[in-house]
Amino acid sequence: MPNYRRDFTKGACYFFTLTLQDRTKCYLTQHIEKLRQAYQETVRRYPFETIAICVLPDHLHFIMQLPQDDDNYSKRIAFFKTVFTKLLPKAYRNENQSRIKKREAGIWQRRFWEHRIRDERDLNNHLDYIYFNPVKHGYVNAPKDWPFSSFRRDVERGFFPLNWGS
């Protein structure tokens, strides 16, 4: 088994990708209210700032700014995954004794992608990636048309023009 090395920097900003185990499922957008509930519960329990987020049917990308004295994003990811999974019907979970023993029960891939944002250019590149993702996957023709992202919030804040990515 590979030994994954993660970056843990207090107060840092991180980009994440979380993916469903079965990429043919659309649980994240089909159950967007439950996903929002799980996300809000996570922020309440383990505070952080959401810089950007985009939810696609089978995966989600987001950028998290941790509190200055905290480097534990893993507990936030684990809590979020657990809460969302428990909010879904039990029939959705892919559970058997072997998977439970390996801590792989549920709907999510076991691991997640993490990248510490290094500077403003890195942040801007990841924002572009997040917001263009629904276009890349063929769900919409422009980021403004995807209802499951913070793109419109960032347009209202003046960070992007409405027609960006069209």
pLDDT at 3 over 70: no
pLDDT at 99: 58
Q: What is the mean pLDDT of residues 45-65?
A: 98
pLDDT at 1: 46
pLDDT at 105 over 80: no
Both tokens of residue 152? 């419109």
pLDDT at 6: 83
pLDDT at 70 over 60: yes
Task: Decide: 103 and 41 in contact? Cβ < 8 Å.
Answer: no
Distant-in-sequence, close-in-space partners of 150: CB < 8 Å, separation ≥ 6: 50, 52, 53, 54
Amino acid identity, position 79: F
d(CA 58, CA 64): 20
Sequence length of the chain is 166
Model-wide pTM > 0.85: yes
CATH ID of 13-122, from 3.40.50.12280, 3.30.70.1290, 3.10.250.10, 3.40.50.150: 3.30.70.1290
Q: In which residue are the tokens 């696609």 written?
A: 56
